[in-house]
């Protein structure tokens, strides 16, 4: 099976940089995805890493180290609207063809 | 506009009643998924379907049933056998279930409350 660990809560101030870590255990590995969910809303896709290294999309970047079974989401120039929950998710290349999500990290951006 | 719709947004049910949650997509996606989310928790997979007329159990399928008679539709029935059904239910779709990226697009969700 798959399991993921991420911090339950992170707090930062506007304009700062924050890093949300994710470690995973899986029997096979395709890639690591990140989703954002505002309170009461639906998750939306942010980024995907299949290979080691950093992927940048505007203010958001995501990093993967396959050898360490570890990844992180980096949010720069934080804005109040970034306050949300962030989920990492893995897709295994064996067995079930569906994502397994972490329990989420709640990010609170303060003025 | 292409997207995923779920109805109703809020649903109340008495204990012992079955209830069906609707999920429709016009993205022409092959794969569809149902997740349950409890307050402050992550998403747990209930059922998924990679193609019409086929579906697989997820991690918490007990007390739920699905059908996939049309590509666009993947309704979820919460049966009276589900012991604690009050939760936020999210439906999602992806282009197919075998692609490496497997980016999922979510509907707005249905919040089910059992009275």
Does A51 contact B at CB distance below 8 Å? no
Chain A's closest residue to B48, CA to CA, is A98
pLDDT in tens, A86-111: 999 998 766 667 888 999 999 999 99
Mutation test of the interface with chain A: which of B9, B10, B25, B43, choosing the one with the most A Cβ atoms within 10 A? B43
As a whole number, mean pLDDT of residues A20-33 equals 90
**Contacts with B42 from chain A: Cβ below 8 Å:** 87, 101-104
Q: Is 90 exceeded by the pLDDT of residue B83?
A: no
- Give B79's pLDDT tier (boundaries 50, 70, 90): very high
Q: What's the CA gap between A52 and A47, in Å, rounded?
A: 14
Closest of B110, B91, B115, B98 to residue B3, by C-alpha: B91
Q: What is the pLDDT of residue B97?
A: 63
As a whole number, mean pLDDT of residues A19-46 equals 92
Q: What's the CA gap between B57 and B63, in Å, rounded?
A: 11
Are A97 and B98 a contacting pair at CB < 8 A? yes
As a whole-number percent, the residues of chain A with pLDDT over 70 amount to 95
Chain A's closest residue to B36, CA to CA, is A101
Q: Is 90 exceeded by the pLDDT of residue A38?
A: yes
CA distance A111 to chain B (A): 23
Q: What is the pLDDT of residue A110?
A: 96
Q: Which of residues 1-20 of B touch A (CB under 8 A)?
A: none
Q: What is the pLDDT of residue A94?
A: 65
Q: Is 90 exceeded by the pLDDT of residue A56?
A: yes
For residue B22 the two structure tokens come to 């609707």
As a whole number, mean pLDDT of residues A7-25 equals 97
């Amino acid at each position: 099976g798959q399991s993921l660990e991420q911090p339950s809560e992170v707090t930062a101030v506007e304009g700062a940089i924050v890093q949300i870590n994710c470690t995973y255990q899986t029997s096979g590995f395709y890639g690591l995805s990140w989703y954002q969910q505002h309170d009461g809303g639906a998750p939306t896709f942010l980024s995907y890493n299949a290979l080691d290294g950093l992927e940048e999309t505007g203010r958001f970047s995501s990093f993967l180290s396959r050898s360490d079974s570890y990844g992180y989401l980096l949010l720069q120039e934080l804005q109040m609207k970034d306050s949300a929950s962030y989920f990492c998710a893995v897709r295994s290349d064996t067995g079930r063809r569906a994502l397994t999500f972490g329990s989420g990290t709640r990010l609170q951006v303060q003025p | 506009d292409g997207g995923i719709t779920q109805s109703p947004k809020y649903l109340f049910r008495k204990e012992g009643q079955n209830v069906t949650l609707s999920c429709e997509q016009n993205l022409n996606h092959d794969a569809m998924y149902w997740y349950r989310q409890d307050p402050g928790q992550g998403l747990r997979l209930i059922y998924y379907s990679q193609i019409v007329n086929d579906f697989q159990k997820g991690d918490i399928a007990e007390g739920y049933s699905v059908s996939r008679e049309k590509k666009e539709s993947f309704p979820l029935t919460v049966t009276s056998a589900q012991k604690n059904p009050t939760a936020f239910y999210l439906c999602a779709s992806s282009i197919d279930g075998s692609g490496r990226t497997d980016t999922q697009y979510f509907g707005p969700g249905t919040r089910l409350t059992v009275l």
